[in-house]
Structure 1
Amino acid sequence: MEFEALNSAELTAYLRGVPAVRELLGDTSELDVVEVGDGNLNFVYFVSNSQSPEKSVVVKQAPPFLRLVGTSWPLTRQRMEHEVAALRRFGALCPQHVPQVYHADSKLFLMVMQHLSSHKILRQGLMEGIVYPKLGDHLSTYLAHTLFFCSDLFLAPHVKKEAVSAAVNSELCKITEDLVFTYPFEDHPSNSYSPALPQSAIDRLRTSEALRIAVAEMKWAFMNHAESLLHGDLHTGSIMINQDETFVIDPEFAFYGPMGFDAGAILANLWLAYFSRDWHGRVGGEDPERYQQWLLEQAAQIWNGFSDKFLNLWRDQESRSKRHFIGDDPDEKCSEAFRTHFMRRLFADTLGFAGCKMIRRIVGMAKVAEITSIPDEAARATIEVRCLKFAEALLVQRQQFDSIDEVLAQARTIRAQRED
């Protein structure tokens, strides 16, 4: 049967038959339904009580195709089941940063969830230059809790292996494998280049051996290192925020993969915001450097906070269980040495994945508004070239960076360079 998204009347009638939704919305005789999807993957609706608008929910329905492209790119609607399962798992681990799921329907591939009506999409807030004082702390907490408690450092081996099997998400992983790690580095019809982007910058993505090897290594890690349950698409459009709260949404790409992929994704988006602020800040009549400094501080706080919290969870778990991951270690020197080695490798992975994410947003199919909203073609190209240079450094030099401060210094250096 051909897919048709529910219209307002059909959705209203459906929700009236769901007890949990009736309890949330109260009188369901009059509901306001507004379609608000961004057009990439799903149909998304805000539904509220006409008489009491504060009583509201979000409804998502998954079509059997990539909405950004259309029916020529088919997808299984079972991806909604992955998203529901991930939201419930992450919600159990970090409820203060994950919205509630009220209802899920596997036949209609639909779910009803908490409406974060007092929150804004983080990407939009960053473009407007809003300072969120709790951003770094909240995201580092989310990363530490979701990545640690879904890993072999916490789970029993058989439980982890069963979880890996249950979370296989082949179709959406294939999208990432293609759009993040493959197509941007070849002459592929899905790529999209801004008019003034130098051909030399495009050619470098395809011909630099060091870069191509680094990207291939990250692709291999993505496809083979099932370290923890990932969100899988943790960009600033997947975060809802206000001055007091931060929620991570839309984990339909969730699967078991390398921990650095989630951490790298959010850092990549902050760095895209950093470089593009040169345009958005000046257009807004302000010196961009103050907000750029805040963005870099958030990147540092996210990584350093995540590292500290993750290690604390790890040490606490081994103390409680009276068992080290590496085995018997009475004075804990070897365990601590392994933790240091583990986090250094994770840091390098994070930087490499961040580099891949930045590149795909510049030359790939799905871009970011911070870049595409720049109307001055020359100014946009200048920012894009800086993003590509920084991304290449993250990939090729990822094992040489000793700290996040060194990475941020590199970002400042590249931003200050004059383009030929």
Structure 2
Amino acid sequence: MEFEALNASELTAYLRGIPAVHALLGEPAELDIAEVGDGNLNYVYFASNAGAAEKSVVVKQAPPFLRLVGKTWPLGRERMEREVAALRRFGSLCPQHVPKVYHADSQLFLMVMQRLASHRILRQGLTDGVVYPRLADHLSTYLANTLFFGSDLFLNADIKKQAMSAAVNSELCGITEDLVFTYPFEDHPSNVYSAKLPRAALERLRQTPALRVAAAEMKWAFMNHAETLLHGDLHTGSIMVNADETYVIDPEFSFYGPMAFDIGAVLANLLLAYFSRDWHGRLHDGRPEAYQAWLLEQVSTIWSAFAAKFQKLWREHEGRSKTSFIGDDPDRACADAFKARFMQRLLADTLGFAGCKMIRRIVGMAKVAEIAHIPDDTARAAIEVRCLQCAETLLVERQSLTDIEQVVRLARALQSTHNQ
């Protein structure tokens, strides 16, 4: 049957037929329906009581194609089932940072979920220079809980393997493998280059052996290191915030993969916001430096707080279970050495994935608005070059960047060179 997105009257009738949702909306005589999706993958609607707008839900429907491209790029609509499963799993682990799912329909590939009416997309807030005082604490908590409790460090091995088989997401993983790890390093027709991005910068991506090898290593890790259940696309457009709360949305790319991929995605987007602030800050108040400092503080604090919380969960679990991942180790010297090595590798992989994510957003088809919407082509290209320089260093030198503060200093140095 040919897919057709539900129109307003069809959606109204559908929601009225779900008692739990109808009750949430206050049993309205009329619903206001607004389509609010970004147009990349799915159709997303706000459905609100026409007489009491605060009574509202989000409806998300998955078409059998990549909406950004159209029917020439088919996708299985079962990805909605995976997203629902991921939201429910993450919600059980970190309910304060994951929206509730009220209803799911596998026939219409549709779900109804909590609307975060007093929140906004983090990317928008960062572009406007808004400080979110609890952001680093909230995101580090979300990352620590979701990444630890889905891993072999916590789960019984048999349960973990069963969970992995239920979360296979080959189709959307294939998109990531192509659009993040492969096409940006080729002259691929899906790439989109800004008007004044220097050709030398593009040739460097394609012809630098150390960079190509590093990207291939991260692609291999993405495809083969099934460490935990990931969000899979954790950029600042998938996070909703206000001054007091943070929610992570849209885990349709969820699968079992390397822990560092989610962390790297968050840090990459904060670094993109940092470099783009040079334009937006001067446009808004002429002084980008203070907000840039706050953005780098988030990079540092998210990693540091995540590492502390993750290791605390690990210690507490081993204390309760009276076991150690490495086996019997009475004085814990070997276990502690393993944990230190584990966290160092996790940081290196985080930086490698961050580098790939940054490059993808500069030369790939899916941009970040804070850079893509800069109207001055020369200023935009200069920012893009700094992003690519930072990304290359993160990728190629990830093993030698053993402290998150080295990343902060790298970003500052690149920005400082531009300011001179």
- TM value normalised by structure 1: 0.99
Report the Cα distance in structure 2 between the residues aligned to 1:350 and 1:377, rounded to whole angstroms.
Answer: 31
1:118 corresponds to = 118
2:300 corresponds to = 300
- Give the drift of 1:373: 1.1
- Give the drift of 1:104: 0.1
CA contact (8 A) 2:348 2:402 kept: no
Q: Once the two structures are superposed, what CA deviation does each residue of 1:164-221 show, in whole Å capped at 9, x if it has no partner?
A: 0000000000000000000000010000000100000000000000000000000000
2:129 corresponds to = 129
Report the Cα distance in structure 2 between the residues aligned to 1:114 and 1:179, rounded to whole angstroms.
Answer: 30
Report the Cα distance in structure 2 between the residues aligned to 1:35 and 1:27, rounded to whole angstroms.
Answer: 21
Any residues of structure 2 matched to 1:59-98 within 5 Å, and which? Answer: 59-98=59-98
1:326 corresponds to = 326
- Give the drift of 1:349: 0.3
In structure 2, the residue corresponding to 1:417 is in which secondary structure?
helix
Aligned residues: 420
Any residues of structure 2 matched to 1:14-413 within 5 Å, and which? Answer: 14-413=14-413
Report the Cα distance in structure 2 between the residues aligned to 1:411 and 1:38, rounded to whole angstroms.
Answer: 30
Percent identity, please. Answer: 72
Report the Cα distance in structure 2 between the residues aligned to 1:103 and 1:64, rounded to whole angstroms.
Answer: 20
In structure 1, the residue corresponding to 2:37 is in which secondary structure?
coil
Report the Cα distance in structure 2 between the residues aligned to 1:333 and 1:91, rounded to whole angstroms.
Answer: 35
Report the Cα distance in structure 2 between the residues aligned to 1:331 and 1:322, rounded to whole angstroms.
Answer: 13
Report the Cα distance in structure 2 between the residues aligned to 1:304 and 1:192, rounded to whole angstroms.
Answer: 35
- Give the drift of 1:117: 0.1
In structure 2, the residue corresponding to 1:73 is in which secondary structure?
strand
Report the Cα distance in structure 2 between the residues aligned to 1:188 and 1:22, rounded to whole angstroms.
Answer: 48
CA contact (8 A) 1:96 1:247 kept: yes
Report the Cα distance in structure 1 between the residues aligned to 2:176 and 2:348, rounded to whole angstroms.
Answer: 20
CA contact (8 A) 2:173 2:253 kept: yes
In structure 2, the residue corresponding to 1:286 is in which secondary structure?
coil
In structure 1, the residue corresponding to 2:76 is in which secondary structure?
coil
Report the Cα distance in structure 2 between the residues aligned to 1:23 and 1:170, rounded to whole angstroms.
Answer: 37
- Give the drift of 1:52: 1.0
Report the Cα distance in structure 2 between the residues aligned to 1:53 and 1:381, rounded to whole angstroms.
Answer: 42
Report the Cα distance in structure 1 between the residues aligned to 2:253 and 2:169, rounded to whole angstroms.
Answer: 7
CA contact (8 A) 2:137 2:302 kept: yes
Letter in 1 for 2:75: L
In structure 1, the residue corresponding to 2:161 is in which secondary structure?
helix
Letter in 1 for 2:71: T
Letter in 2 for 1:188: H
Report the Cα distance in structure 2 between the residues aligned to 1:232 and 1:401, rounded to whole angstroms.
Answer: 24
CA contact (8 A) 1:269 1:358 kept: yes
- Give the drift of 1:419: 9.7
CA contact (8 A) 1:39 1:68 kept: yes
Q: Where do 5+ consecutive residues of structure 2 fail to align?
A: none
Q: Once the two structures are superposed, what CA deviation does each residue of 1:357-390 show, in whole Å capped at 9, x if it has no partner?
A: 0000000000000101111111000000000000
With 407-416 and 95-104 compared, the bigger mean Cα shift is at 407-416
Q: Once the two structures are superposed, what CA deviation does each residue of 1:137-184 show, in whole Å capped at 9, x if it has no partner?
A: 000000000000000000000000000000000000000000000000
Q: Once the two structures are superposed, what CA deviation does each residue of 1:25-54 show, in whole Å capped at 9, x if it has no partner?
A: 112320000000000000000001011111
In structure 1, the residue corresponding to 2:382 is in which secondary structure?
helix
Q: Where do 5+ consecutive residues of structure 1 fail to align?
A: none
CA contact (8 A) 1:226 1:258 kept: yes
Q: Once the two structures are superposed, what CA deviation does each residue of 1:291-344 show, in whole Å capped at 9, x if it has no partner?
A: 000000011110000000000000000010000000001111110110000000
